[in-house]
Amino acid sequence: MTVTAESQATSLSTLLRTGSQAEHTAAEGSSFMSELLAGHIDEAGYAHFLGLLRRVYEALETTAAGLTSDPLASAVIDTAIERLAAIDADLDHWGRVDADSAATDAYVARIRDSASWGGLFVAHHYTRYLGDLSGGQAIGRILTREFHLDGAGVAFYSFDDAVPKPKLYKDAYRARLDALPLDEQECARVLAEVKTVFSLNGGLFAEMTTHLPKYARA
Ligand code: HEM
């Protein structure tokens, strides 16, 4: 019997990774990320960005707290990897910037709306935390080098105690995704939300790009 590609079951973790590859490549190549990693953004610019991320993680982590009994969301929620306290420690280093941000408002609203179905929250959780455990590790190292840091200011990228081996954590996370009782349509809905989350992150980067002239670093 010929098995068509369509009829082959794809695990949710593979669907999310392969299905959002184009969005990931776009996020990696965004001018904000490129400029930041090239060391072209000053401390105030990074503080501004981190202040926006703080609002994103506050929304993720307060929404998670309300979903601990949800059969889908509870499979990924793990207070041990939460980032809010780490971000606050970093903001003590970089300084706090109170900036209006329409892109962050839209992102936060979408996170809060994801509480309507645990599968949507899973999409939000996956896109940020698995990203932080992946490329985020390299970003932390580059910031350390560019800003000559001695450990202060990059707690956001450090999961040391909670996750001694990111690869093992990510493998276990993917296994939990793959065990979720979701049908094909529901999996497609999770993937669609992951793509939306990437585009909300892209909106935040694009907004940061408009501020770059005042944050140029020689
Ligand atoms: C310059 C910026 C970025 C770099 C260099 C980067 C790099 C990477 C790398 C190397 C991996 C694969 C790690 C592995 O296979 O174990 C990865 C995975 C991932 N990244 Fe990024 N990334 C960046 C930005 C982002 C952004 C902005 C997001 C989302 C907001 C994101 C979300 C993810 C996710 C969800 C994964 C896990 C994919 C999976 O295995 O299912 N990344 N990233």
Q: Please provide the average confidence, as pLDDT, over all residues in the chain.
A: 94
3, pLDDT greater than 70: no
Q: Would you say residue 3 lies in a domain?
A: no
Pocket lining: 138 vs ligand 1, CB cutoff 6 Å: yes
Q: Would you say residue 43 lies in a domain?
A: yes
Q: Would you say residue 177 lies in a domain?
A: yes
pLDDT in tens, 34-93: 999 999 999 999 999 999 999 999 999 999 999 999 999 999 999 999 999 999 999 999
Q: Would you say residue 170 lies in a domain?
A: yes
Q: Would you say residue 1 lies in a domain?
A: no
Q: Would you say residue 6 lies in a domain?
A: no
**Whose CA is closest to atom 38 on ligand 1?**
17
Pocket lining: 180 vs ligand 1, CB cutoff 6 Å: no
Distance 194 CA to ligand 1 centre (A): 13
Distance 68 CA to ligand 1 centre (A): 26
- Structural domain containing residue 176: 11-215
- 7-18 average pLDDT score: 87
Instruction: Count structural domains, the chain.
Output: 1
pTM of structure? 0.94
Pocket lining: 120 vs ligand 1, CB cutoff 6 Å: no
pLDDT in tens, 126-156: 999 999 999 898 999 999 999 999 989 999 9
**Whose CA is closest to atom 7 on ligand 1?**
135
Q: Would you state the pLDDT for residue 1?
A: 38
CATH number at residue 40: 1.20.910.10
Handedness of CA 168, 200, 146, 89 (dihedral sign): negative
Phi-psi region of 183 (alpha: psi -120 to 50; beta: other; left: phi over 0): beta
Q: Would you say residue 108 lies in a domain?
A: yes
5, pLDDT greater than 50: no
CB 195 within 8 A of CB 120: no
